[in-house]
Amino acid sequence: MVTLSAIFPPSQPPERIRVVAEAAEAAGMTHLWVWEDCFKESGIATATAMLATTSHLTVGIGLLPVPLRNVALTAMELATMSRLFPGRLMAGVGHGVLDWMSQVGARAESPLTLLREYTAALHALLHGQTVTTSGRYVSLDDVTLDWQPAVPPPLLVGGVKPRTVALAGELADGVIISSGPSPDEVRVSAGHFRASRPDGAAAGEVVVFLDLPAASPAQDIAAVAGAYAAAGVTHVAVNAAGDDVDLEWFVRFLAGEVGPLLKD
């Protein structure tokens, strides 16, 4: 069965983080997602606040833009969060919006090369390995995390195009596909992801982010989520589109009215 969750977008003020996370957990939602946009909220800070506010909720970060972040720092942050809240974090990384990366002087000439080097190093550090590497963008010399996570968080990579999706399958634990591709297009991407999995690796997560009007009937949202589930998606995260969306109401609506329709 597909997992259904909501997204707390960075267009929401930080003051709403706690109440929305509490509402999601009280409604029985298992996951809540955040992402990091320039120049709004930190994905790390937002996710940590949500985890600290709740007891059982799993928080996913999608996506942390790798050009902005030294990989050792990201590993330290994610490891700290994972030790404080074991088994309750999913972390996603991606290219970042290239115009924003240019705006802050961080745009890479080869985003795919950067993402490959970064993902490999980050996954290794979070799994307790000592990493020495000298790549085009990522350089580490005998780096090991002192406070390694007892439960490493699943690491996901954001992408749609075949080479990025294949990279996610090869090096990460899942892929995040942003809103836009149809179920048929996602089926193709999910195929690229799974075909790239190493021998013996778990199937991995295929997460899709969907922008859907908050006023949509429950049956319509369930039908859309079901179509993506049939295309191989394991997790549908919904961003409630619309002006002045009441996210406390929306997470209760997703959990209480849409979720049961997916179980039928």
Q: Which fold has domain 3-263?
A: TIM Barrel (3.20.20)
d(CA 171, CA 116): 8
Phi/psi of residue 147, each to 5°? Answer: -110, 75
The residues spanned by each domain of the chain are: 3-263
pLDDT, position 69: 96
The overall pTM is greater than 0.85: yes
d(CA 188, CA 231): 8
d(CA 250, CA 32): 12
pLDDT, position 244: 85
pLDDT, position 264: 63
State which amino acid sits at residue 193.
F
Which pair of tokens denotes residue 151?
A: 């439960």
d(CA 141, CA 17): 37
Contact predicate 251/24, CB 8 Å? yes
Residue 48 Cα to chain centre, angstroms: 14
pLDDT per residue over 170-205, tens digit each?
Answer: 999 999 998 789 999 999 999 999 999 999 889 999
Per-residue pLDDT of the chain (264 residues; tens, 9 = 90+): 899 999 999 999 999 999 999 999 999 999 999 999 999 999 999 999 999 999 999 999 989 999 999 999 999 999 999 999 999 999 999 999 999 999 999 999 999 999 999 999 999 999 999 999 999 999 999 999 999 999 999 999 999 999 999 999 999 999 999 878 999 999 999 999 999 999 988 999 999 999 999 999 999 999 999 999 999 999 999 999 887 899 999 999 999 999 999 986
Q: Vertex 20, ends 16 and 25: CA angle to 5°? A: 155
State which amino acid sits at residue 119.
T
pLDDT, position 243: 76
